[in-house]
């Protein structure tokens, strides 16, 4: 990449930083919680309008439980030219009305607001990077396409099939999730995530008159919980957390039922297979109870594959042209990048630099917008990965 192109790109974003911040403000004010599908439409309408101006063809995909999804590609496409995916989501964890109690405001140079870090700023970066490429008359030899979903925060259950299909077709995927922490680390690895539900069926009996006539599902649950926690392995990055339990009828009845729901996270697909087998192999200890276990690792880990390392190394080299020193990190949470990484080279965490995802102090550093957006633009201009 010519040094002059990098300088020109950075200068464009510096000149348009305030315009970009205004667009981010607009997106944040369009509250769009995952559990209110209708709220997503205003965000999609806004993105749709901007993409049409950029000569992109936009397709809106409806959802059954989600607010649907947006797919966009250039109206003018060159036959047989490789493609690259820009990936993001417009849903947030914040309920409608949060903006009234957690308004957009500057504090110590940081811009705060619900969903601004995760990930309304990433959406704005996508739009402005495409604007910059057209303004500077730089056309990528790998055609950028977009996919924005509205159910990422709740597991991408409806959109996952679209992401699987697109990831198989593209040369590489860039995920505009926020970077990792205040240092702005690029997410080159993410844990895979699973949810497992243990249901125990025992036998009720009077706790005072006939305690031996029952089979306590709660007693068995206590054994199962200990077995689950024993699967934690700090060195391997395996975490098993029993976060919800329920059971029993009343204090004087031997419990005929109980349940536990656990969150499981792993760093590698090998460990995903191991942990699934280990959990499903748990056997009951208490006589007379039946143990049922459901669940799997639903979101695979994003690993440091050879293809992903190539993309990371490319990003490091391009960042040097912007006098930007990139750092990498591993995220405990998952994203749709976990899915794309199964099929195409993936770089995650290219969005906002800031902190406070899903927290009341959620914020971005607006002064980092030019350099991060310029980096994404240079990545889009890079040649095909081989």
Q: In this structure, what DSSP letter does residue 52 have?
A: H
The answer regarding whether domain 3-190+301-381 maps to CATH 3.30.450.40 reads no
End-to-end CA gap in the chain: 17
From the CB of residue 193, how many other CB atoms can be counted at a distance below 10 Å?
Answer: 22
Listed in sequence order, the residues at least 6 apart from 258 whose beta carbon sits closer than 8 Å to its beta carbon are 199, 200, 202, 217, 218, 220, 221, 245, 246, 247, 248
Over 90: is that where the pLDDT of 1 sits? no
| Tens of pLDDT, residues 74-83 | 999 888 899 9
Outline where the chain has alpha helix (H). Answer: 3-15, 17-29, 40-53, 98-101, 121-135, 160-169, 217-229, 269-280, 306-320, 337-340, 369-381
CATH class given for the domain over 192-299:
alpha beta
Per residue in 243-277, pLDDT (tens digit) is 999 999 999 999 999 999 999 999 999 999 999 99
**In this predicted model, what pLDDT tens digit does every residue of 107-124 receive, in sequence order?**
999 999 999 999 999 999
> Within 10 A of 106 (CB to CB), how many other CB atoms are there?
11
**Span 40-63, pLDDT tens digits:** 999 999 999 999 999 999 999 999
Q: Are 352 and 117 in contact (CB under 8 A)?
A: yes
Q: 326: helix, coil or strand?
A: coil
Structure tokens at 327: 């750092």
Which residue ranges make up each domain of the chain? Answer: 3-190+301-381, 192-299
pLDDT band (50, 70, 90) for residue 238:
very high
Mean pLDDT of all residues in the chain?
97
């Amino acid at each position: 990449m010519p040094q002059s192109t990098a300088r020109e790109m950075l200068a464009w974003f510096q000149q348009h930083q305030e315009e970009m911040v205004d667009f981010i403000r607009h997106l944040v004010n369009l509250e769009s919680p995952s559990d209110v599908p209708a709220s997503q439409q205003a965000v999609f309408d806004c993105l749709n309008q901007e993409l049409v101006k950029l000569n992109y063809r936009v397709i809106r995909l409806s959802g059954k439980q989600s607010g649907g999804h947006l797919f966009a590609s250039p109206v003018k496409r060159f036959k047989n030219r490789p493609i690259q995916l820009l990936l993001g989501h417009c849903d947030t964890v914040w309920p409608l009305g949060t903006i009234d109690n957690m308004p957009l405001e500057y504090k110590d140079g940081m811009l705060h607001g619900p969903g601004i870090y995760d990930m309304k700023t990433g959406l704005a970066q996508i739009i402005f990077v495409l604007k910059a490429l057209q303004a500077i008359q730089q056309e990528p030899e790998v055609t950028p396409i977009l996919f924005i979903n509205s159910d990422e925060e709740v597991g991408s259950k409806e959109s996952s099939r679209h992401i699987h299909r697109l990831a198989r077709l593209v040369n590489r995927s860039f995920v505009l999730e926020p970077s990792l922490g205040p240092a702005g680390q690029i997410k080159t690895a993410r844990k895979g995530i699973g949810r497992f539900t243990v249901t125990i069926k025992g036998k009720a009996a009077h706790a005072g008159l006939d305690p031996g006539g029952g089979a306590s599902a709660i007693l068995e649950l206590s054994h199962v919980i200990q077995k689950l926690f024993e699967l934690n392995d700090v060195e391997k990055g395996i975490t098993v957390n029993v976060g919800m339990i329920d059971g029993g009828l009343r204090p004087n009845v031997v419990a005929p039922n109980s349940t536990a729901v656990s969150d499981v996270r792993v760093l590698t697909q090998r460990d995903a297979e191991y942990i699934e087998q280990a959990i499903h192999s748990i056997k009951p200890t208490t006589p007379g109870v039946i143990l049922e276990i459901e669940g799997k690792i639903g979101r695979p880990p994003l690993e440091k594959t050879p293809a992903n390392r190539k993309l990371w190394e490319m990003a490091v080299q391009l960042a040097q042209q912007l006098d930007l020193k990139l750092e990498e990190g591993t995220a405990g949470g998952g994203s749709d990048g976990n899915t794309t990484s199964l099929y195409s080279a993936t770089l995650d965490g290219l969005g906002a630099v800031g902190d406070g995802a899903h927290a009341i102090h959620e914020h971005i550093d607006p002064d980092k917008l030019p350099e991060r957006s310029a980096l994404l633009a240079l990545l889009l201009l890079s040649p095909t990965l081989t």
